[in-house]
A and B are shown apart, each in its own frame.
Chain A
Amino acid sequence: MLGVSASSESAWLRVTVLLLIGILAFSTRLFSILRFESVIHEFDPWFNYRTTIELVENGYYNFVNWFDELSWYPLGRVVGGTVYPGIMVTAGLIHKVLNWLNFPIHIREVCVFLAPLFSAFTAVAAYLLTSEMKNSSAGLLAAAFIGIAPGYISRSVAGSYDNEGIAIFLLVYTFYLWIKAVKKGSAFYGAMTAVFYFWMVSAWGGYVFITNLIPLHVFALILMGRYSPRLYISYSTFYIIGTISSMLIPFVGFQPTRTSEHMAALGIFGLVQIVAFVELIRSHLSANQFQTLFYGLISGFFLLGVAGLVSLTVGGYIAPWTGRFYSLWDTGYAKIHIPIIASVSEHQPTPWTSFFFDLQLLMVLFPAGIYFCFKELRDEHVFVLLYAGTASYFAGVMVRLMLTLTPIVCVAAAIAITAGLETFLKKTPRAASVTAEASSPGLDEKKTKASKSVEKKKSAAALSSAKAGSSSGGIWTWDARVALIVPLVFMLTQFAFHCTWVTSNAYSSPSIVLASRKPDGSQHIIDDFREAYYWLRQNTAEKAKIMSWWDYGYQITGMSNRTVLVDNNTWNNTHIATVGKAMSCSEDVSYDVMRKLDVDYVLVIFGGAIGYSGDDINKFLWMIRIGEGVFPQDVKERDFFTARGEYKVDEQATSTMRNSLMYKMSYYRFYELFGGGPAHDAVRGARIPAKPIKLTTVDEVYTTENWIVRIYQVKKPDNIGRTLPAASTFGKKRRRRNRKRSAAAGAKKNAATARRRKQQDE
């Protein structure tokens, strides 16, 4: 659906530039796998990978009906009905097509490279969207921006096989089709919007953004008095096809008719019908005095509809906003009511540094882009403005939603920069054409040094702007042109460097393999996670149940192929709280919990030895908090803080802290690393006392090279029915008691008996 203009030369140029941008977008995301190896990253991707394998090996229907017994022991999980299958199906299809074409490629490679591939597509989609807003020069700029903007790279590097990887492409492309549909009033584009919307629904929960933004756009246009049959046709087509098809996704089901998130779309659909009806009647009547009546009619119906929705919600027929979405409005809600959502680091609010880090120059020119959109304010610009306003709010509330803000910032900044370039490169009617020509070649020389992306955009922009140029004002002197263009080119070049630097330094870590630098500058790879997971795979029984905090659930099932109690799909808060309780209680209490859940091994992450800060002791407070939410009698957050309210792990640690299973397992035998003296915890900078920690209910079975992962085996109950602490002190107690007794006996009876008894002891 590339728009080909009359001039085939410029069209070819544009295609070439877009192609180069696509290649750039793809290759800038490869840092992560070039440095390490082609491996799936982080946590969620491991689950997606595992399900994709299931899909590829057993087919779609088995995948939909798949009951996964390796997770959420003993509950299990119905995977088919609780995932967005879009990404797995997409990867599976690509795999199938490639194999059909006789490219025998492993599904892992498809998964690893899926996100970079779709980033290249996103660049094309951004080009199309921006071309609708301004012109193709702005489109190329926007494509280049989104290709390298770190805000998007952060979730789409190679190996990061996650929903967002394809969802952003679908988001941008759906919006493009929607704009196209509104512009043309075409049912075809409306239907295409719905098709891509369906793909989006199947891929990411963020589709709710589309279902609310498009109706908002329609509503705003109606309020602005811009209702037209085009709007009616495009929205009605989109809503009907989109809603019905979205209900085909098992995980979505009847939500479009039952939950508040989808009610805006439904309400606007009704409103559009009423407005269309009233407009129809009005076109057949000429009397002006009916106008008031009609407006009354419209607002009456509107209020009636709102009242109806509210009463249905109160009556319980429509579910109110779910916690995840509600916490976007009431930002304090999650912290009190759903600590499990508040505990995730990507759900934290965004500090200003993240905005600048992720968008740099674009962030600064974003407001200017908004201004230029307001200046033109056609129907499609209203859309951009609504998108900008809502997305900037969401990005402020949650770090993760930077992702939805990034496309619109790229579009707006591209519009602003193009406005500047066009004004300053345009031929003015009076000024000699020499000036314009003089400035362009001068630029070209400079650009040889600049990065590829910037260079392409610039020449395209210069070309298209040279064609335009007929309005009244203009720049009269060539040096005034240079005065703006040179700094702007410098800034754009710097932006390209910034993006590469951020990508390389911040967003290309696979997080299951950690890289550090040795003193001599060479790279040192820390591969403890895979070491431990592989150990579990090789050394434990196939049916073994492994308890860990939920963060590692997907990785354990994915890499060790063992059953876990909880994982990153945090659907059952009580179950997670039970694990939290087991981790934070004393050994006796924990042992009962673990026995009830058939736990065989416990896995903890401990970074104190090498300074890995994302370890379980740092996450421990959340375990306590989530545990306390369900078991307030057994777990109390207050007890883990010292009298002065500090969270300590050294000598000052509270006794509750020191007796908790997590603390014991983390620091068990830790001081032995330091030759028996007090140990130093490199993460918290604390001195750990050299007192030996006694574990009576679990045995240490494995600790990885850098001590990051420690695995403990849960002991079987004592075979003659004693408690495990009692059993563990069996020999020692008896000896002590016997020695006392023998001493007493020696005083009374003759020495020979005592000696004999002592010999028995030994």
Chain B
Amino acid sequence: MQSARLATQGLLAALLLLLGLAFSSTTHAEAASSVQKVTRLESKLSAHKAIRLTGNDFEYLTDQPRNFSLFVALTALAPEMGCVPCRDYENQFNLAASSWQYAAEKGRLYFAQLDFADGREVFQKLQIQSVPIVLHFPPTEGPNAVAISGEYEAYDLNRWGLTADALAKYASDACKVNFSIRRPFDWSKLGTRVMFGLMGLGVVKLVWTYVAAVITSRKLWTVALIGWSVLMCSGFMWNRIRGPPYTGMRDNKPEIVAPGFQNQFILETQIVGILYAAISITFVLIVTRIPQLSDPTQQRTATYALVIVFMVLYSIMLKFFKLKNGSYPYKMLL
């Protein structure tokens, strides 16, 4: 009797235990899946690369809760997509991912990549219009949890640029971890460089007389410096920094002169540069060549011809400026 009761009690206890176990395992599947997610991510981790996800992985990993940060790059690498920046950015993203693996504190931060071919439905669900895009899913539980509005933050590629360094900096700030980009040192590159450097030095040594003639040539320096200052004074650096189009388009007609005083097209600056140079060259010719002509008639003709060229070019310059600044009151011939 006693033993039977004990047995039933034992049975009950076992049942309870079983039940409890079953219960706890079900809750485990929902609540503690952060750990499982980390395990899954760790199992997919490969050296020197971001984790390649599928659509299902993505759904699984981005589902709350999470105790780690996840950066996902959405790309379309298939050649028929023709996304060149995606391919460029993949390298940078992988570089950031592998750099993090060197510094890794396990379970803090993961870099993953989802290609359009692997997760079409995700792209549709998130209404992605353009790639590449990087999304950051911050942790929702654990000591590092951050509350943000919405599921994820978009990493603004337009602002930060397509470099691994910028991504690393952003990720370090966002996740409060400390890591920087480690580029694997390329010994073969160094070797070839040293080789080429030595070879170059050797070549220079061999043909030193010619090289010396070139670098001490006053004419060459003259041309180079004039070219340089003409380039700089015709808005070249503006073009480098602002990256305007070569020419514009208005009403389906190509446009040479950009509207607006503070705006310019590349072709426009080239025309201006050529004008500067041409006017100066004409002036130099007038001053240096004409006195050398010994025949008065010839000299007279040459003077008239060159002065007219000089004036016409300068008038074009003024005219060109008037195109930019309509209220400019001065002109010469034109």
A residues apposed to B, CB below 8 Å = 331-332, 336, 349-353, 355-357, 361, 363-368, 370-372, 374, 377, 385, 388-389, 392-393, 395-397, 405, 416, 419-420, 423-424, 473-477, 479-480, 483-484, 487, 490-491, 494, 497-498, 501, 632-633, 637-638
3 shortest interchain CB distances as A-B pairs: A473-B291, A352-B235, A396-B237
For residue B221, CB closer than 8 A to chain A, the reply is: yes
Whether the Cβ atoms of A353 and B321 lie closer than 8 Å is yes
Residues on B with beta carbons closer than 8 Å to the beta carbon of A637: 156, 159
Q: Which residues B204-236 have CB closer than 8 A to chain A?
A: 218, 221-222, 225-226, 228-230, 232-236
On whether the beta carbons of B225 and A487 are closer than 8 Å, the reply is no
Contact A352 B292 (CB under 8 A): no
Give the complex CA separation of A331 and B310 in angstroms.
Answer: 36
- List 17 A-B residue pairs with CB atoms under 8 Å apart, sorted by A's residue number: A351-B238, A367-B276, A367-B277, A368-B283, A370-B222, A385-B225, A392-B229, A396-B237, A416-B287, A423-B291, A473-B292, A480-B290, A483-B307, A484-B286, A633-B148, A637-B156, A637-B159
- By the criterion CB–CB under 8 Å, are B296 and A355 in contact? no
* Number of residues from B at the complex interface, CB < 8 A: 62
Contacts of A479 in B (CB 8 A): 300
Q: Are B237 and A331 in contact (CB under 8 A)?
A: yes
What's the least CB distance linking A192 to chain B, in Å?
A: 29
Give the residues in chain B near A423, CB-CB below 8 Å: 287, 290-291
Which of B182-222 touch A at CB < 8 Å?
218, 221-222
A494 proximity list for chain B (CB < 8 A): 330, 332
- Using A350-B235, A366-B233 as known contacts, list a sample of 9 further A-B pairs with CB atoms less than 8 Å apart, ordered by residue number in A: A351-B263, A356-B317, A364-B317, A371-B280, A372-B284, A396-B232, A396-B233, A396-B237, A477-B299
Q: How far is the CB of A292 from chain B (nearest CB, A)?
A: 13
In the complex, B272 has a CB within 8 A of chain A: yes
Residue contact B262 to A353, C-beta cutoff 8 Å: yes
A367 and B280 in contact, given A350-B235, A351-B263 (Cβ under 8 angstroms): yes
Nearest CB on B from A68, distance (A): 33
B229 touching A370, Cβ below 8 Å: yes
Chain B residues positioned under 8 Å from A349 (CB to CB): 235, 237-238, 240-242
Is the CB of B269 closer than 8 A to any CB of chain A? yes
In angstroms, Cα B229 to Cα A494, docked, is: 24
Q: Which residues of B contact A (CB under 8 A)?
A: 148, 154, 156, 159-161, 166, 173, 218, 221-222, 225-226, 228-230, 232-238, 240-242, 261-264, 268-269, 272, 275-277, 279-281, 283-284, 286-287, 290-292, 296, 299-300, 303-304, 307, 310-311, 314, 317, 321, 324-325, 329-330, 332
**Smallest Cβ distance from B299 to chain A, in angstroms?**
6
- In the assembled complex, how far is the CB of residue B149 from the closest CB belonging to chain A, in whole angstroms? 10
* Least CB separation from A370: chain B residue: B226
Q: What residues on B are CB-neighbors of A364 within 8 Å? A: 275-276, 279-280, 314, 317
Option from A363, A368, A370, A405 in Cβ contact (under 8 Å) with B225: A370
Instruction: Output the least CB separation between B127 and chain A (Å).
Output: 11
In the assembled complex, how far is the CB of residue A366 from the closest CB belonging to chain B, in whole angstroms? 7
**Across-interface contacts of B277 in A (CB, < 8 A):** 367
Q: A349–B269 Cα gap in the complex (Å)? A: 14
Q: A480 to chain B: which residues have CB within 8 Å?
A: 290, 299-300, 303-304
Majority secondary structure, B binding face: helix
Instruction: Please state if A352 and B238 are interface contacts (CB–CB under 8 Å).
Output: yes
Return chain B residues, CB-CB under 8 Å to A336: 160-161, 166
- How would you classify the secondary structure of chain A's contact residues: helix, strand, loop or mixed? helix
A475, B290: Cβ atoms closer than 8 Å: yes
Shortest distance between the CB of B268 and any CB in chain A (Å): 7
B327 CB → nearest A CB, Å: 8
| Min CB gap B309→A, angstroms | 11
Minimal beta-carbon separation of A369 from chain B (angstroms): 8
Q: Considering only CB atoms, which chain A residue lies closest to B264 in the complex?
A: A351
Query: Distance in Å from the Cβ of B248 to the closest Cβ of chain A?
Result: 14
Per the bound structure, the CA–CA distance linking A322 and B114 in Å amounts to: 40
**Quick check: B280 and A352 within 8 Å, CB to CB?**
no
Q: Which chain B residue has the least Cβ–Cβ distance from A396?
A: B237
Q: Indicate if the CB atoms of B283 and A420 lie closer than 8 Å.
A: yes
**A367 contacts B321, CB within 8 Å?**
no
Q: Tell me the complex Cα distance, A498–B318, Å.
A: 11
Closest to A479 in B: B300
Given A420-B287, A494-B330, A476 and B280 contact (CB-CB distance below 8 Å) = no
Q: B226–A371 contact, CB under 8 A? A: yes
Give chain B nearest CB distance to A482 CB in angstroms. 10
Q: Contact partner of A366 among B160, B229, B237, B263, CB < 8 A? A: B229
* Contact indicator B284/A368 (Cβ below 8 Å): yes
Evaluate contact between B272 and A352: CB separation under 8 angstroms: yes
Residue numbers in B under 8 Å from A491 (CB-CB): 314, 332
Contact yes or no, A484 B303, CB < 8 A: yes
- Return chain B residues, CB-CB under 8 Å to A397: 237, 241
Given A353-B264, A389-B225, verify A419-B160 contact (CB < 8 Å).
no
Q: Which residues of B contact A332 (CB under 8 A)?
A: 241
User: In the bound complex, what is the Cα–Cα distance between A501 and B325 (angstroms)?
Assistant: 13
CA distance A366 to B290 in the complex (A): 21
CA of A356 to CA of B321, assembled, Å: 8
Highest count of chain B CB atoms <10 Å: which of A364, A370, A377, A484: A364
B299 touches A475 (CB 8 A): yes
